[in-house]
Copies of this chain bind each other. A is one copy, B any other.
Amino acid sequence: MLRTHTCGELSLEHVNQEVVLCGWVQRVRDKGGMIWLDLRDRYGITQLLFEEGKTQANVLEIARSLGREFVISAKGQVIERLSKNDKIATGDIEIRISELNILNPAKLPPFLIEDETDGGDDIRMKYRYLDLRRNNVRKNLQLRHQVARHTRAYLDELDFIEVETPVLIKSTPEGARDFVVPSRMNPGEFYALPQSPQTFKQLLMVAGFDRYYQIVKCFRDEDLRADRQPEFTQIDCEMSFVTQEDVLNTFEGLIRNLFSKVKGLDLPEVPRMTYADAMRLYGSDKPDIRFDMQFVELKGAAQDLTSGKGFSVFDDAELVVGICAPDSAVYTRKQLDELTEWLKRPQIGAKGLIYVRYNTDGSLKSSVDKFYAEEDIKKWAEAFNAKPGDLILIISGAADKARKQLNELRLEMGTRLGLRSSDEYSALWVLDFPLLEYGEAENRWFAMHHPFTSPKPEDIPLLDKNLGAVRANAYDMVINGVEVGGGSVRIFEKELQKQMFGILGFTEEEAQEQFGFLMNAFEFGAPPHAGIAFGFDRLCSIFGGADSIRDFIAFPKNNSGRDVMIDSPSVISDAQLKELAIKVE
C-alpha cells in the first residue's frame, strides 16, 4: 500500500510511530512559521504538522505549494497534540512530517467540498465525483451499503436465495412505459428493460425456489418528477406456501431489523389499517401516522351535522370533513386566509376552507357563524373531540376530492406544528386494497397493484358482479407517509389469471401472446405464493432522514433523464443505427 494507515485511525497509542498517510488536502493554515494541514480520506481527517527550523526546507516548500484537494502522501512521526480537537476521532494526535509527495495536483474545485457547500444542484450534478467527496453525500451511500448488507443478512438467515433475473426481457403493454433495446441479432425486434422482475420471481416460485430475493435495478420510462429516477433499485422478494399474514410478519421483521441494525432504533410492532380506513381517516393510502389529526366527517356516511341551516356549500356537498389542529387557535385571520389561498392553488384545487377556532376562553368562533348557531358549532367541536386552543379546519365537496385536499392540509399542518420530525419513525401496513380501479379516460378497469394480484377468495364471486368492490390480498408498507414497499398474494391458477386478463381488456390471444409463458407455467404445478418489493432508494432516504432519493444514488439523472456528468443520452453513429436496423425519425 502507498500508506501505512488511513486518515481516520491514528490515536495516542500510535505516538512515536512512523507512519505514511495518503489523502486530499482539506485545509492548510500557515501561521508564524507553523503549517497545519488537514489531510482527508474516506475514513477521517488527520492533522499534519510542518514547522520552520524543524521541517526540512524542501518539504516546507512543497507544503506551501499545496492547494485544496491536492492528492498527497506524507510520511512522519505521530506526536501528541498540544491543543486537542475532540470533534474528530484523530484529534489527540498530529503527524510531524518528514517527507511529502504530491501524487496529483488539483485545480480549484468549482464548489466547496464541505458539509455546507456553495454549489447549486446543477454544478454538483456535473461534478458529481466532487460532490461525492462531501461527508454527508458519501455517508448516504455508506448507509445505503449498510441497508443492503443487513437486508441480505436477514433474508439469507431465513433461507431466501438471491437469484439474478434478466435485464433484457420482453416489452409488455400493461403498467408504465418500458425502456426498449433494439436487438441487432433479431432485426426489428426489441428487448425491454424490466419495470420489476415480477413474472420472473413468480416463475422461480413455480420452479420451487421457495424463497427468493434480489436487490435489483428496475426501469421506468416515465416523466420524471423531483423524486423519480428512470432507473431505481428494488428489494424484490417472493415466498411459496404462505399466506398474506406470513409475508407481513417476515417483512415487518426485515424492516424492524433494519431499524435496529442501521439506526439503532427499536421500531414498535407495525400497526395495520385497511385501505378503506386509511382513505376515510386520512384521505390517503399512505397516511403519515407520526401524528393524529384523523379526519372527522361532519356530513358523511355516519352522520350529518351540517345540513339544513342554509349554508349551501355544505348542503350541496357530498362530504363535509375536517381535522382538528391542536393548539392552533392562535392562527390569525391573516394566517387562515393564507392557508386558504395555499389550498386553492391548482396543485390542490380546494374551493375554500371553513374554520372553527376553539378559543382558550372556551368560546367558539367560526367562519360560518352566519349559518350555524353556537349550539351547532359546539356539536361539531364535540365530534372532533376538540379542546380549547384547537383549530378545526373543514373542507367540503365531492368525497374523493375533499379527502385528497384535506390530506394535503393535514400534512401541511403536521409540518407546521413540528409533528413530522425526520428522526421519528412511524410504520404502518395498509391492507385490503381494491383489486381494480376504473380508468375513466380509457373507459376500462386497471389493476390497482398489477394483473398478478389475487383477489380475496371471499370476493371472487364479485368478479362477475361488482368489480369495484373486489378487494385484493394486497398490502403496502408506509413509513412516515411514504410508501416504501408493497406486494400481494399472487394468482397461481391459470383460469383465474385468464379471467383477470379478460377483466383488464385483453383478448384471449393478447393475454396468451404477452403472458402465455406465465399462464402455461401455472399448469405445471404452481405453488401458492406471495411477495413484496421495497423501493430501495426510498427506504435509504428514509433511513437517512432525507426527502429526496437523489442523494442516495451515486450517479443520479436529472429531471430530463440526463446524466449531465457524462452527458448522456447522446447521439450514436449512423453505423450503429444501421447495424441495429433502426432510423431516427
Q: CB within 8 Å of B: which residues of A?
A: 1-3, 6, 22-24, 40-43, 69-71, 73, 103-107, 109, 127-130, 132-133, 138, 141-142, 144-145, 148-149, 152, 156, 159, 161-171, 173, 177-193, 199-200, 203-204, 206-210, 217, 219, 221, 223-224, 230-231, 233, 240-243, 246, 492-493, 517, 521-528, 553-555, 557, 560-563, 565-573, 576, 578-585
Q: A69-B525, A104-B528 are in contact. List 13 more A-B contacts (CB 8 A).
A: A132-B208, A133-B207, A152-B152, A163-B554, A164-B554, A166-B231, A180-B572, A181-B181, A185-B223, A187-B584, A187-B585, A204-B554, A578-B585
Residue of B40, B193, B582 touching A583 (CB-CB under 8 A): B582
Residue of B138, B179, B186, B231 touching A561 (CB-CB under 8 A): B186
When distances are taken between beta carbons in the complex, the residues of chain B under 8 Å from A163 are: 141, 144-145, 554
Complex Cα spacing A201 to B166, Å = 23
A570-B190 contact, Cβ under 8 Å, with A156-B149, A184-B221, A584-B581: yes
A246-B186 contact, Cβ under 8 Å, with A106-B524, A133-B207, A524-B127: no
Can you spell out 29 A-B residue pairs with CB atoms less than 8 angstroms apart?
A: A1-B243, A1-B246, A40-B208, A43-B159, A69-B524, A129-B207, A132-B204, A132-B209, A142-B161, A148-B162, A149-B156, A152-B152, A164-B217, A165-B554, A166-B557, A168-B179, A168-B231, A168-B557, A168-B568, A177-B579, A186-B560, A186-B561, A186-B562, A189-B570, A190-B570, A190-B572, A192-B568, A204-B554, A582-B585
Shortest distance from the beta carbon of A451 to any chain B beta carbon, whole Å: 15
Is B585 within 8 A of A185, CB to CB?
A: no
When distances are taken between beta carbons in the complex, the residues of chain B under 8 Å from A208 are: 23-24, 40-42, 132-133, 138
Chain A residues touching B, majority SS: loop
Is A527 within 8 A of B71, CB to CB?
A: yes
Complex Cα spacing A166 to B73, Å = 32
Complex Cα spacing A1 to B527, Å = 13
Shortest distance from the beta carbon of A170 to any chain B beta carbon, whole Å: 4
Is B231 within 8 A of A492, CB to CB?
A: no
| Least CB separation from A191: chain B residue | B569
Complex Cα spacing A579 to B521, Å = 33
Top-8 shortest CB links A-B: A106-B525, A132-B207, A170-B568, A189-B569, A69-B525, A183-B569, A2-B241, A42-B210
Is B183 within 8 A of A561, CB to CB?
A: yes
Complex Cα spacing A572 to B178, Å = 10
| Least CB separation from A494: chain B residue | B104
When distances are taken between beta carbons in the complex, the residues of chain B under 8 Å from A148 are: 162
The copy count of this chain in the complex is 2
When distances are taken between beta carbons in the complex, the residues of chain B under 8 Å from A582 are: 182, 582-585
When distances are taken between beta carbons in the complex, the residues of chain B under 8 Å from A567 are: 170, 517
Shortest distance from the beta carbon of A555 to any chain B beta carbon, whole Å: 5
When distances are taken between beta carbons in the complex, the residues of chain B under 8 Å from A243 are: 1-2
| Least CB separation from A206: chain B residue | B129
Complex Cα spacing A579 to B176, Å = 14
A171-B104 contact, Cβ under 8 Å, with A1-B246, A521-B129, A582-B585: no
A525-B190 contact, Cβ under 8 Å, with A141-B161, A184-B177: no
Is B130 within 8 A of A207, CB to CB?
A: yes
| Least CB separation from A246: chain B residue | B1
Complex Cα spacing A64 to B573, Å = 65
When distances are taken between beta carbons in the complex, the residues of chain B under 8 Å from A526 are: 71, 104
Is B1 within 8 A of A169, CB to CB?
A: no
Residue of B3, B106, B204, B219 touching A241 (CB-CB under 8 A): B3
When distances are taken between beta carbons in the complex, the residues of chain B under 8 Å from A156 are: 149
When distances are taken between beta carbons in the complex, the residues of chain B under 8 Å from A190 are: 569-572
Is B138 within 8 A of A209, CB to CB?
A: yes
Complex Cα spacing A578 to B171, Å = 15
| Least CB separation from A230: chain B residue | B168
Complex Cα spacing A302 to B10, Å = 54
When distances are taken between beta carbons in the complex, the residues of chain B under 8 Å from A2 are: 241-243, 528
When distances are taken between beta carbons in the complex, the residues of chain B under 8 Å from A566 are: 169-170, 199, 517
When distances are taken between beta carbons in the complex, the residues of chain B under 8 Å from A217 are: 164, 167, 217
Is B492 within 8 A of A576, CB to CB?
A: no
| Least CB separation from A585: chain B residue | B581
Residue of B129, B192, B579, B581 touching A203 (CB-CB under 8 A): B129
Is B188 within 8 A of A584, CB to CB?
A: yes
Complex Cα spacing A528 to B156, Å = 36
When distances are taken between beta carbons in the complex, the residues of chain B under 8 Å from A527 are: 22, 71, 103-104
Shortest distance from the beta carbon of A159 to any chain B beta carbon, whole Å: 8
Complex Cα spacing A221 to B572, Å = 15
When distances are taken between beta carbons in the complex, the residues of chain B under 8 Å from A104 are: 492-493, 522, 525-528
